[in-house]
Structure 1
Amino acid sequence: MIEVLSSSALATVQDHGREGYLRYGVGTAGAMDRLALAVGNLLLGNPDDAAGIEIPMFPFRIRFLDALDFAITGADCAARLGDKPVLPWWTTHARKGDVLTVGVPNNGMRCYLSLAGGVDVPVVLGSRSTQLRGQFGGYEGRQLHKGDVLKAIGCIHRAEPDQAVHSAGFGMVPPEHALPAPVSTPCAEVGDTVVRVLPAAEYDGYQPQSIEAFWREGWKVTTQSDRYGYRLAGPTLEPVRHIEKRSHGIVPGVIQVPHSGQPIIQLRDAQPSGGYPKIGTVIEADLWRLAQARIGTKIRFAQATYQEAVAALDELEHYLTRVRHLIGLFRSSRH
């Protein structure tokens, strides 16, 4: 078990998401950076659908009430276990009473704390993810508060420290260093997040100069951004004529343009329908990159084809396959 020591960090319990319920009006929820959570689960030998803790505000502190293996993935947050540094994308063993402090990220926006076996919360509609809008799933349907105690499915009770099998730990190369990055636009600056985008249904309904600006300009992530969506600031996108649509289905990654002309990227906690016109969709393989874009930084869109989007998804799956294979080799060498 672990005890939350932070009073307000907006941390929530998330897994890979609640799939198959959009037609009932239930959003996907789940980890914003599903790739980071997936690697954390692989490192610990957890099931693919195990839940972890998504941490978007820092510092975040917990106390281990039992001996437990854990891993931190996602943003590099200069974590410490007691007075010892914790490597990112690495397995670490905590003893009973140890305090883990997750610091302010050197880069990125969110990190993920994975526990051996996964966080033990009830499965609701096929997922352990927190749905903040509906206030269900996760830990009582809300963000974690100081004093909350969470059980890990893989919680262990054993002598310390001699029998701690994973005390030395092992880790993986983060995906930003292992996966080919999207081709940057000529005007991109250091620190910009580049994501690949497919033109969407109303793309041709915008003025040529607006379409050019959509691809050329950097779009600032405003302070009105959260798990529901990123509200962006940049040039005003103007339609050829007024576009009015009935509410229709949308998914995470869809880029809508409200009447202000400032785009919104729908994310994991977005409602499953909306009436704003759609100018593009961030490809599924780049949603993890989007999740790590900080408030105040810029996002740039690189146009992709359907074939390129499929190829990028294949590259992501190949990365996870390599991770799974390397971890399997490590574990087999320990026996």
Structure 2
Amino acid sequence: MIDVLSNGAPNLIQDAGRRGHLGFGVSRSGAMDLLALSIGNALVGNESDDAAVEISLFPFRVRFQGDLQFAVTGADCVVRLDDATLAPWWGRTAHSGQTLVIERPKRGARAYLCLAGGVNVESVMGSRSTDLKGAFGGFDGRGLRRGDSLKVLATSTRTVRESGLGVVPADVPSFWDELSTGVVTVRVVPAAEYEHFTDDARKSFETTDYEITPDANRVGYRLNGAALPLSSPLELLSHGIVPGTIQVPPSGQPIIQLAEANTCGGYPKIATVVEADLWKLGQAPIGSRIRFVVTDVDHALEALRVQAAEIKKLRKTLALMAQRG
């Protein structure tokens, strides 16, 4: 068990998401950075989709009420266990009474605290994720508050060496370098209404940067940049949308749907962010800029296969290292 020592309504219990219910109007929810969640869980011997704490308001403090393996992944934060400073993307064992502090990120937007066994909250529609719009799932359908106590499910038999164990996926250091420049590159595939935008709009979309405005949350990011006009007025019936969908309202300023994406909408869609790059958006802070690179479906699927293969390889390596002690 851990006790939460700091208030933070945006800090939520999330797992890999509530899939298969979009037709009923229920968002996927889940972690904004599924890569960080998966590797964090691997560091403590969990399944990839076990529930963890997604932290987006800092500093975040907890106290351990028993010996427990944990890992912190995601944003590049200063992490301290009592007086010891831990490396990014690192897992180790905390002892009863120790305090963990996760400071404001130097780069990135969200950190993930994974606990051996996974956070033990009720599963709703097959997921422990928090759905803020519906106010259900997670910890009573809300963000965490000072005084909350989080329990874990039965822990695995795997042990983590006292000095800890860490790993950083191949794409993360280069992404941090991108964040240092203020521009994040994400790949997209053209969406259904791509050809309905003007030639100049499509050119602007592919060659200029779009800033993430303060009107940004887990539902989606409103962007600011070159306007994207249609070639002619277009009326659409509401239709299904998914995380990564880039819609363009009458203002011409794009909106990217994210983890708690609306399940349907009627704005024209210019593109969709490839699934393998969605984690980058989860780590892109307000004020940073997005540069879109248009690709095709085959390359999008290959990127997802490459990412899945790396995660599988890292999980296998971590398990072997843990066995060796």
Letter in structure 1 aligned against 2:141:
G
Partner of 1:51: 51
Contact 1:69 1:92 in 2 (8 A): yes
Partner of 1:62: 62
Between the aligned partners of 2:160 and 2:321, the Cα distance in structure 1 is: 13
Contact 2:72 2:88 in 1 (8 A): yes
Between the aligned partners of 1:88 and 1:112, the Cα distance in structure 2 is: 11
Q: Deviations over 1:92-138 (max 9, x none)?
A: 21111111111011111111000010000000000000000000000
2:219 is the counterpart of 1:228: yes
2:286 is the counterpart of 1:295: yes
Instruction: For residue 332 of structure 1, give the secondary structure of its aligned residue in structure 2.
Output: helix
Partner of 2:15: 15
Letter in structure 1 aligned against 2:217:
D
- Equivalent position to 2:207, from 216, 220, 224: 216
Partner of 1:159: none
Between the aligned partners of 1:133 and 1:153, the Cα distance in structure 2 is: 26
2:272 is the counterpart of 1:277: no
2:172 is the counterpart of 1:172: no
Between the aligned partners of 2:69 and 2:61, the Cα distance in structure 1 is: 16
Shift of the 256–165 alpha-carbon distance from structure 1 to 2, 3 Å rule, reads closer
Partner of 2:299: 308
Between the aligned partners of 1:208 and 1:266, the Cα distance in structure 2 is: 24
Alignment of 1:1-335 (within 5 A): 1-8=1-8, 10-154=10-154, 166-177=161-172, 190-334=181-325
Contact 1:207 1:238 in 2 (8 A): yes
Return the offset for 1:190: 2.1
Between the aligned partners of 2:52 and 2:314, the Cα distance in structure 1 is: 18
TM-score (structure 2 length as normaliser): 0.95
Structure 1 segments unaligned to the other structure (5+ residues):
157-163
Moved more, 113-122 or 237-246: 237-246
Between the aligned partners of 2:170 and 2:38, the Cα distance in structure 1 is: 11
Between the aligned partners of 1:7 and 1:317, the Cα distance in structure 2 is: 35
Shift of the 34–165 alpha-carbon distance from structure 1 to 2, 3 Å rule, reads closer
Q: Deviations over 1:57-97 (max 9, x none)?
A: 21111111111110000001101111211222111211111
Q: Deviations over 1:147-188 (max 9, x none)?
A: 1111012469xxxxxxx853111111234248x87xx9xxx9
Q: Percent identity?
A: 47
The aligned length equals 321
Between the aligned partners of 1:229 and 1:72, the Cα distance in structure 2 is: 25
Letter in structure 2 aligned against 1:125:
M
Between the aligned partners of 2:170 and 2:121, the Cα distance in structure 1 is: 28
Return the offset for 1:206: 0.8
Instruction: For residue 61 of structure 2, give the secondary structure of its aligned residue in structure 1.
Output: strand
Letter in structure 2 aligned against 1:244:
E
Instruction: For residue 111 of structure 1, give the secondary structure of its aligned residue in structure 2.
Output: strand
Shift of the 142–189 alpha-carbon distance from structure 1 to 2, 3 Å rule, reads closer
Contact 1:91 1:171 in 2 (8 A): yes
Contact 2:160 2:322 in 1 (8 A): no
Contact 1:16 1:34 in 2 (8 A): yes
Letter in structure 2 aligned against 1:271:
N
Between the aligned partners of 1:119 and 1:252, the Cα distance in structure 2 is: 24
Letter in structure 1 aligned against 2:167:
M
Shift of the 280–197 alpha-carbon distance from structure 1 to 2, 3 Å rule, reads same
Return the offset for 1:31: 0.2
Between the aligned partners of 1:244 and 1:101, the Cα distance in structure 2 is: 51
Contact 1:68 1:115 in 2 (8 A): yes
Return the offset for 1:332: 2.8
